[in-house]
Chain A
Amino acid sequence: MKMPKISFKIPKIKIYGIDVIKNFLFFTLFIVLTLLSIAVAIAPSIRHFKATKDKYFQKKYDFEITTKEYKNNLLELKHLKNKNRKVLNILKRDFDKNNFKMFASKYMDIKSIKEINSSIYKNDFIKTTYIVTSTIKSPKNFYDLIDALKNYKLLLRIYFPINFVKNQEDINLTLKIEHYKLKD
């Protein structure tokens, strides 16, 4: 018996001179390569790109919010500094005995100012204590001095002991003054 002859040769089918089978195979190759490109290169890139893009916009939004917060805080600090400029300047100044004598001369005649001690107060400030001996005409001078301290260029606290001793015409006043300033 004679075996049939099997041929693997692609048959040529031509329509108007165009090789249909060959073009169909090229088309199939094109589709396969396209799908492969999408699956291997484009789809993962798009997925990664989209995730990164979302992350980028989230980060950008965070950055804008943080910048806004920073600007608001900076503005607030500026306002706070302007509002409390007097206090901030007062706490920077050192105690000047002559200046205080001159300031207090309106209310009392200061005989002496003696520094007693100096210590750290609430971690950030220095408290220096002075004993002031002076002469006043009446206790009102003492009250007026305390009122005037509100407008003085230093932060001073009048503290105990306070002694009033009647003299012939005046009152000898001895008091403790605490000066507060920023620690350097």
Chain B
Amino acid sequence: MYSFTKPDKKPIFKEDTKLWVVFITISMFLYLSFALFLVIKTYLYNKDIKNYTNEIKTIKQKITTINNKKEFIYKEKTLYEDIMVKNSLMKDSIKNLLDLIPDPITLSSISFDKNKLIIYGITPTKDIYNMLMLPPLESIFTETKTYFYQMPNGWYRFNSVNYLKEKQ
């Protein structure tokens, strides 16, 4: 039997089969691409987390250094203020002691030590010293000793030694 049309080659896969294969392949490619994208993004996030962790550590060390510096400045400031206060107290205590000296009594020397005050001077009479100078000294110091030496003109040269005992 003779045919006027030549037979078409029979394809291995039909059109709809090819379509399904292409569709499924593209879908799988997209699924895997999406998963890969997430993995890459996760990797980048982890990298950033690591960087942030390192930076936080560095910054915290810097903060500690700054705090140490601040503490040291406060220490310096405290020392300065402490010295200034101690100088003022020293001035006031010496001024107050010198202001205690009554007019008739003349001092020839006065020596201030941490817990001791030694005064050399001249007084017209022992009574003037005992009435005007001794009471304030006794009120300040815990122990007061006075030695008198009579001068040719009848006045007295005195030596007052005063101790301040520290509280136990």
Contact = CB atoms under 8 A, between A and B. Distances in A.
A93 interface: no
A123 B69 CA distance: 15
A77 interface: yes
B42 A45 contact: yes
A162 B112 contact: yes
Contacts, number: 170
Given A52-B42, A87-B76, A163-B111, A157 B94 contact: no
B75 to A, nearest CB: 7
Nearest to A27: B20
Contact of B52 (A63, A125, A150): A63
A78 to B, nearest CB: 10
B111 to A, nearest CB: 5
Contacts of B69: 77
A155 B91 CA distance: 16
Using C-beta atoms within 8 Å of the partner chain, give the interface range for chain A: 35 or more
A146 B90 contact: yes
Contact of A67 (B23, B38, B59, B91): B59
B114 A160 contact: yes
A122 B16 contact: no
B66 interface: yes
B155 interface: no
Identify the 5 closest CB pairs spanning chains A and B, nearest first: A45-B38, A41-B35, A37-B31, A26-B20, A146-B91
Given A48-B42, A60-B52, 20 more contacts: A30-B20, A49-B41, A49-B45, A59-B49, A62-B56, A73-B66, A81-B73, A125-B79, A146-B91, A149-B87, A150-B84, A150-B87, A155-B79, A157-B86, A160-B113, A161-B111, A161-B112, A163-B110, A164-B111, A180-B79
